[in-house]
Amino acid sequence: MALFVLIEYQLINEIGYSHMDIQKKRSRAIPKRKLWFGLIAIALVTLGAYATTVAPRSYEVRRDSIIISQVNQGDMNIEVRGNGVLAPKHIRWISTNVDGRVESVLVKPGAMVKKGDLIAELINPELVQKTDEIRWELEAALANNKSLAMRHENNVLDAQARILKVKHSYEKAKLQYDAESTLLKRNNGSVSLIDYNRSKLDLEQYREQLQIEKKRLEKLKETQEAEFQANTAMVNKLKKSLSRSEMMIQSLKVVSNQSGVIQAVNIEAGQRVPLGLNIAKLARQDQLLAELKIPERQVRTVEIGQDVIVDTHNNQIHGSVIRIDPAVNHGTVQVDVSLNSPLPPEARPDLSIEGTILVSKLQHVLSVNRPAFAQSNSPGTVYRLAADGREADKIRVMFGQGSADRIEIKSGLRDGDQIVTSNPSAWEHQDRISIQ
């Protein structure tokens, strides 16, 4: 209004007429009135342009740069997700059974091997020399055993010959004694008492000598048996030593103890390795489990037995939770999952996977794709689109239970509402945004 008064005042000054003079000189005022209305129109246009410049405008956002999601009423799965790898159920280490120097390594990590396949070759010259010496000792012991058997046989024959000789002398003396005894009983004087007593003494002497020779033969056999057993024990010991030494030589060729995939090889050519060193890690490809890394804040809802979907990026495998690690490592907890469905062709140890654990299921709730920075069971703000979809207003909502990709809406939104779920950091201080 002040602007209109100012314009009228300037017109009076420039033209020299007041408002009362207009009534007196109407015929001359018609051109001046047109000038006055033109100035008013110019003023209005100027005011409109000024108002347009000064008035606040909505923050403009490109539609293709945001993500818009719709609120839905229905069932909602509470899920926990984590990344991980496939891992073997059982790890088998291949170790050395003998010390030696690595001559060659025939496999690399990732290689498929069968039971009995050659993994590495070792050399041990000292072991080879020792084996040869044991073999020579065994051959000597076997020869000595054969010689001993022949010697024992000769000694037995000599003892038996002595017994036979004494036995003949005994029988001869007995004949002499029996004859003289008969003649002596006839008392015809043909045999003297002295000859009779001499024959009797000879008979007793040969009888005792025969018994002694028989006992000597028995003792000889016992001694020979003990000596033979001792020599046989030595031979057996050498045989076992040779067998063990030959097995150690065979162990210089390190072979796989089962079929599977080589996970790691810990030796290289020229390296000296001791007895019992683990040189390669082996795992069976058909016996795997999933090891998932679940964020510490989410693992509290995970329980043994819950269903899991394991995604290999080519196929999905159904499984169930079998173990939850009690320790936290770098903000995550390891969860082991048994794989209950057949393994796909790409399944192998250390394959990167993603796992989704079904924690629970909510029925007949409002839910939406999880907005950026939305926290479960906490209040928050979202941008809700208008009916025409060209603008979105910031509103407060109450979030309920959250899943990996969706979250429950307790209040603030209705079924069918559309909200912006992408990161609003660039316009988070704006109450309204314009979507172009």
Q: What does the pLDDT look like over 308-317, one tens digit per residue? A: 999 999 999 9
Higher-pLDDT residue of 416, 57: 416
Across 109-130, average pLDDT: 92
CA distance 213 to 91: 71
Predicted pLDDT at 104: 93
For 141-150, 189-198, 406-415, which range has the lowest pLDDT when averaged over its residues?
189-198
Predicted pLDDT at 147: 84
For a pLDDT cut of 70, what percent of the chain falls above it?
Answer: 86
> Would you give the end-to-end CA distance of the chain in angstroms?
38
Predicted pLDDT at 285: 82
Assigned CATH for 91-124+252-283: 2.40.50.100
CA distance 275 to 255: 15
For CA atoms 357, 361, 364, 367, the dihedral sign is negative
Q: Is the pLDDT of residue 420 over 90?
A: yes
Across 328-349, average pLDDT: 93
- The 3-state secondary structure of the chain reads CHHHHHHHHHHHHHHCCCHHHHHHCHHHHHHHHHHHHHHHHHHHHHHHHHHHHHCCCCEEECHHHCCEEECEEEEEEEEEEEEEEEEECCEEEEECCCCEEEEEECCCCCCEECCCCEEEEEECHHHHHHHHHHHHHHHHHHHHHHHHHHHHHHHHHHHHHHHHHHHHHHHHHHHHHHHHHHHHHHCCCCCCHHHHHHHHHHHHHHHHHHHHHHHHHHHHHHHHHHHHHHHHHHHHHHHHHHHHHHHHHHCCEEECCCCEEEEEECCCCCCEECCCCEEEEEECCCCEEEEEEEECCCHHHCCCCCEEEEECCCCEEEEEEEEECCCCECCEEEEEEEECCCCCCCCCCCCEEEEEEEEEEEEEEEEEECCCCCCCCCEEEEEEECCCCCEEEEEEEEEEEECCCEEEEEECCCCCCEEECCCCHHHCCCCEEEEC
Strand order in the sheet with 278-283: 91-95, 278-283, 260-265, 112-113
Is the domain spanning 63-86+285-435 CATH 2.40.30.170? The answer is yes
Predicted pLDDT at 134: 92
CB 342 within 8 A of CB 383: no
For 184-188, 282-286, 323-327, 352-356, which range has the lowest pLDDT when averaged over its residues?
184-188
Higher-pLDDT residue of 42, 114: 114
Q: Is the pLDDT of residue 225 over 70?
A: yes
Across 123-139, average pLDDT: 92
Predicted pLDDT at 16: 45
Using 50, 70 and 90 to split pLDDT, how confident is the model at 9?
A: very low
Q: What does the pLDDT look like over 74-115, one tens digit per residue? A: 999 999 999 999 999 888 899 999 999 999 999 999 888 999
Predicted pLDDT at 189: 66
Q: Is the pLDDT of residue 28 over 90?
A: no
Nearest to 303 by CA among 327, 322, 318: 322
Using 50, 70 and 90 to split pLDDT, how confident is the model at 343?
A: very high
For 31-35, 161-165, 243-247, 362-366, which range has the lowest pLDDT when averaged over its residues?
31-35
Predicted pLDDT at 283: 87
Predicted pLDDT at 274: 93
Nearest to 430 by CA among 58, 54, 53: 58
Q: Tokens 């410049």 correspond to what residue?
A: 53
Predicted pLDDT at 101: 94
Would you list the domain boundaries of the chain? 2-51, 63-86+285-435, 91-124+252-283, 128-235
CB 308 within 8 A of CB 320: yes
Predicted pLDDT at 245: 92
Using 50, 70 and 90 to split pLDDT, how confident is the model at 25?
A: very low
C-alpha angle with apex 350: 349 to 351, nearest 5 degrees?
Answer: 95
Across 386-404, average pLDDT: 92
CB 109 within 8 A of CB 262: yes
CA distance 308 to 288: 15
